Structure 1
Amino acid sequence: MASPEHRATAAAILPLVGGAANISSVAHCMTRLRLELRDRSLVRDEELRALPAVLGVVEDDTYQIVLGPGRVARVAPEFQALLTATGPATGAVTALALAERGAAIKAARRTRNATPGKLLLRRVANVFVPLIPALIGCGIIAGLNGLLINLGWLPGITPALTALAGGFMALIAVFVGYLTAKEFGGTPILGGAVAAVIVYPGVANIEMFGRQLSPGQGGVLGALGAAMLAVYVEKGCRRFVPAALDVLLTPTLTVLIAGLVTLFGLMFLAGTVSAAIGEAAGALLSGGGAIAGFVLGGLFLPLVMLGLHQALIPIHATLIEQQGFTVLLPILAMAGAGQVGAAMAVYARLPHHPGLRATIRSALPAGLLGVGEPLIYGVSLPLGRPFITACVGGAFGGGFIGFFHMIGDTVGSTAIGPSGWALFPLLRGSHGLGTTVAVYAGGLLTGYVAGFCATYWFGLRNPPEPAPSSTPAKD
């Protein structure tokens, strides 16, 4: 049943983004309503940001309205229903003119902001994002299974849990190949077929450069490269193979050429790179310790703002495939802890700002569970200085975990995606579960406290004026 509150939110947003005639498509992610606009100049930003349900606005390829987890999934259908009920605007000439003008504005913005490097990182990230639910589910099962094995409980069920947790990871290269081909414009099943050779046990019989291949060598990076090569070969075949022979020759040549290059080149190269990534991550934290953790935790929020955090997704996946967990994610998750601490300080320092405090109250539960966008775009970034002090909190939390890694208490995550409190079920380390949980919890607490203190004392030297209100504010 539709909620009147969510229907009212959708109805309030629609006129502020130019009405139904200005919307070409609607989608949503975990926290944002994503709109394809025909004419960006029709949007009334200030009025939109002032809506109580709106936590912030982000401009990228789409116009993104931050509503927060849970709410966005309920507002989006109501918004789509309004568009359907409203129908196309009258006046075909006006609609066409708006579409042409909006397309020109969008093209100019993309030319200005979208660099080839960022676009490539975004497309690579799009390959791995669909894998996150399976990584989370299998990671939690693996953690539960490890706990049962350590306790000696349910010995009859643990082999089944091992199979459930390990089956996906054993074949992850196939999924990466499939999704890579799909993202880069090839035939997905051909990408999966070429990548499947990486995990095929029979590759152990192949020798090249005096070395034997081993199943899984190159991992997700090899699968990514193999599938991208398959797309390139397939597109080349489409240009030169006669149409009458396309159905026979194109898939055959794609698998043959891309597969041979993968076996006799990419698997060795990707295997070397994958091994180097694992060694570099371990050496960075073992040698750098608190300093490395401080830098990583402090820089993650700016990386997110620049879109450069997407480059870390294949690295996380490689570490999970190699070692069973990624040691980088718990440190980077400390950025969210600093964000939570900063938001708490803003709440405490600005008692006469009911609108801002209401935003913090609604966004804080999501922030504690590792979804930081509502707090970033609704609180710290608009205020400016608290974004910097949130980075300080993340740096101290990262330094805490980095220090313990240096002395031998490694903390890692068996999946990518969650952070904050949601990461606890996915933790795995070099010692017992109790030690791993204690170190991660200590990092979170350090991030909260450091983010709070830095923001409380240094983050609000010039606090904003409270919004005028005709009625006494209740908080």
Structure 2
Amino acid sequence: MNNRELAEAILKEVGGAQNIHSYANCMTRLRLQLKDESKANRTALNELAGVLGTQQQGNQFQIILGGKVLKVANEFNELVPMNNEENVGVEEKKKGGISNVLNTLSSILTPALPPIIAGGLLKGLIFMVINFGWANGNGDTIIFFNGLSDCMFYFFPFLLAVSSAKKFKTNEYMALALAGLLMYPFAIADGQQIIRIFGFVPIAVVDYSASVLPIIFSVWLLKHVKRFFDAKIPEMVNMVFSSLLSLVITAPIAMCLLAPLGYYTGEYVALGVKWLIDFSPLLSGLIIGSTRALLVLGGMHHALNPIMQQEISSFGGSQLLAMALMSTIAQATATLVIYFRAKQTEEKQVALSAVVPAYLGITEPAIYGVLIKYRGALIAGCIGGGVGAAVSNVMGGVCYGFVMPGLLSLPAFMGKGFFGIIVGMIVTIVVSAVLTFILMNRFNEKEEPEERTGKTEQTTPIDLRIGDVTIQSPVIGEIVPLESISDATFSNEILGKTIAISSLDGTIYAPFDAEVKAVFPTKHAIGLESLATGAEILIHVGLDTVTLDGKGFNLKVKQGDKIEKGQTILTFDKAKIRSNQLNDVVLVVLTNSEQFKSVDKNQRTETINLENDLFSIIR
């Protein structure tokens, strides 16, 4: 069972996405808040290959996965998108600044995409029908379907009003009223661009059709104004007066300030992108085409959607979408090459299942399930996408509708510059295929088993001495009996042989010369691998200290660092942890215990220091 299949099985056994209120992950487990905990089938979950155990901790249902939790969590993120405030995952709530803005835009735009994608495909089909002379461009049928393809773009503020209201948790119909105001055809004299309300407040008369930011800004203001009046006005007359006052206050501010700000912001962003592309179509194609896969990998590619839509609104077509198409084709081609070259049946099946969605425009399964494992193929796809995008850009490739970039959406690219799209795709396929064939196994941590010699190889990076290996304590303190630990993951030693220590000085020291293999963002857990023996330990400070979000922890190292025995790697505030009613015990886990013939633990309860042994190992 691969990580994707495991994530799907977990999702099924916890009651599906509809039963998940929020979720996050730590160093060892998925932490879920379920709407109905009775729907979680713990027996079935415990029997899944890869699941080490389950437990209920407070209001969290925890699925223990050990070292593979991050990979499974990545797949889980693809299966359980949390796009509204009710279902925001814990990790998403912690983000701020630019990340929060991008996530907000993405969650507003995503629900409105289906009609936009449909309209883009329909517009592409109309271009194709007219270009090939299959229908009269002035005929009633074409006029009708052209109107159908245009309406979702023209009235885009109405679509965004609904999704914005859902995101900001305000009344959807009030938001639609603001969209109606943006689109209202004011009866004004020819050439008049400003009207004044109350005789002095200027309102710019702007065409807000197909715009993105004006309605989002306006609904955001509506949320705060309406919340204020809802709190101040008695319930008996709230529906009447709260709505009236909210619109009377919001509408002038929105039309005078926020809508023009959003409109011109979008226009200038689009002009900036257009300037960059015109300045150097070759360079902009290389940069955008080669980095899109990395944006997908980080979940940031949706942030480009408003710019693409603004391009279409301002210039009638999007060159960014054309470049995105080349990146999509590149990732799909790299995955297809892996399908033909992989030796294991399971890897072939995973690759093949990802190829078809990738060519249709959904590259996440290919990137997360295949290319992230074959780093050389990911690099090849990035280069192929960049070269293809540069060629397409130079030859004027454009998309005339907002679509998911893939083979099915090709009609939306038909028109001026379509020859550049075809040439760009050919170049993309050739470059990506050739480079994937060459680089596929160049940067992998491990070679494919079938390509090794028939001899038994030493796979554990340890020395060949026979005899005892000892691991000394990373903590100065008192050993605590495991049966007193309330977390079954540690008390039952699910992750490996475990010792609990109460620290005297709130300091974690390196127990051996090591490489830092993992550091959790909340700083409460560190994974180390001994450079001399290959022993892997997890040092976990406290129980449920992930909830502190790093407060009270001072991390001295980062992932990938080489550290020396005795070096201070982490300090923590014991008082801070205890003031939050949390246990500050330090848990030291030998996570690869199963690789050794036997492991004996120090069972003493007296004070222990850095020279005392925790584990004695026989290999």
TM-score, normalised to structure 1, is 0.73
SS of residue in 2 equivalent to 1:207: strand
Q: What does residue range 82-121 of structure 1 map to in structure 2 within 5 Å?
A: 97-98=56-57, 100-102=59-61, 110=91, 114-121=95-102
Counterpart of 1:415?
402
SS of residue in 2 equivalent to 1:333: helix
Counterpart of 1:458?
439
Tell me if 1:391 matches 2:375: no
Tell me if 1:199 matches 2:199: no
Q: What does residue range 326-365 of structure 1 map to in structure 2 within 5 Å?
A: 326-350=318-342, 352-365=343-356
**Residues 204 and 395 (structure 1), Cα distance of their counterparts in 2 relative to 1, 3 Å cut:** farther
Tell me if 1:181 matches 2:165: yes
Tell me if 1:313 matches 2:305: yes
Query: Is contact 1:340–1:367 with CA below 8 Å preserved after alignment?
Result: yes
SS of residue in 1 equivalent to 2:140: coil
Instruction: Give a deviation string over 1:338-393, Cα, whole Å, max 9, x none.
Output: 2123223334443x322212222222122221221221122110233322222111
Counterpart of 1:4?
none
Distance 1:426 1:349 in 2: 33
Tell me if 1:190 matches 2:181: no
Instruction: Give a deviation string over 1:218-244, Cα, whole Å, max 9, x none.
Output: 822111111111111111212222222
Counterpart of 2:76?
none
Query: Is contact 1:420–1:444 with CA below 8 Å preserved after alignment?
Result: no
Task: Report the AA paired with residue 361 of structure 1.
Answer: L
SS of residue in 2 equivalent to 1:411: coil
Distance 1:167 1:217 in 2: 10
Instruction: Give the drift of 1:14.
Output: 8.7
Query: Is contact 2:204–2:260 with CA below 8 Å preserved after alignment?
Result: no
Distance 1:325 1:341 in 2: 26
Distance 2:222 2:253 in 1: 10
Instruction: Give a deviation string over 1:40-73, Cα, whole Å, max 9, x none.
Output: 7886xxxxxxxxxxxxxxx89999xxxxxxxxxx
Distance 2:182 2:318 in 1: 22
Distance 2:151 2:402 in 1: 15
Instruction: Give the drift of 1:426.
Output: 1.4
**Residues 152 and 384 (structure 1), Cα distance of their counterparts in 2 relative to 1, 3 Å cut:** closer
| Bigger RCO (CA 8 Å, 6+ sep) | 1
Tell me if 1:246 matches 2:246: no
Tell me if 1:281 matches 2:265: no
Distance 1:191 1:284 in 2: 35
Task: Report the AA paired with residue 360 of structure 1.
Answer: A
**Residues 210 and 36 (structure 1), Cα distance of their counterparts in 2 relative to 1, 3 Å cut:** closer
Task: Report the AA paired with residue 171 of structure 1.
Answer: F
**1:17 corresponds to which of 1, 7, 10:** 10
Task: Report the AA paired with residue 439 of structure 2.
Answer: F
Instruction: Give the drift of 1:160.
Output: 1.4
Task: Report the AA paired with residue 269 of structure 2.
Answer: I
**Residues 236 and 211 (structure 1), Cα distance of their counterparts in 2 relative to 1, 3 Å cut:** closer
* Larger radius of gyration between Structure 1 and Structure 2: 2
**Residues 331 and 62 (structure 1), Cα distance of their counterparts in 2 relative to 1, 3 Å cut:** farther
SS of residue in 2 equivalent to 1:412: coil
Task: Report the AA paired with residue 167 of structure 1.
Answer: C
Greater CA drift, 101-110 or 230-239: 101-110
Instruction: Give the drift of 1:335.
Output: 1.7
**Residues 265 and 60 (structure 1), Cα distance of their counterparts in 2 relative to 1, 3 Å cut:** farther
Instruction: Give a deviation string over 1:319-352, Cα, whole Å, max 9, x none.
Output: 23333332211102222222123223334443x3
Instruction: Give a deviation string over 1:295-340, Cα, whole Å, max 9, x none.
Output: 0011111112222222212222222333333221110222222212
Higher helix residue share: 1
Instruction: Give the drift of 1:142.
Output: 2.4
Query: Is contact 1:389–1:455 with CA below 8 Å preserved after alignment?
Result: yes
Counterpart of 1:130?
111
**Residues 185 and 165 (structure 1), Cα distance of their counterparts in 2 relative to 1, 3 Å cut:** same
**1:443 corresponds to which of 396, 400, 424:** 424
* Unaligned residue ranges in structure 1 (runs of 5+): 1-7, 29-33, 44-58, 64-79, 469-475
Counterpart of 1:66?
none
Q: What does residue range 152-231 of structure 1 map to in structure 2 within 5 Å?
A: 153-154=135-136, 155-202=139-186, 206-207=194-195, 212-216=204-208, 219-231=211-223
Distance 1:336 1:446 in 2: 13
**Residues 273 and 60 (structure 1), Cα distance of their counterparts in 2 relative to 1, 3 Å cut:** farther
Greater CA drift, 202-211 or 336-345: 202-211
Distance 2:144 2:235 in 1: 48
SS of residue in 2 equivalent to 1:145: helix
SS of residue in 1 equivalent to 2:399: strand
Query: Is contact 2:321–2:398 with CA below 8 Å preserved after alignment?
Result: no
Task: Report the AA paired with residue 330 of structure 1.
Answer: A
Distance 1:185 1:112 in 2: 16
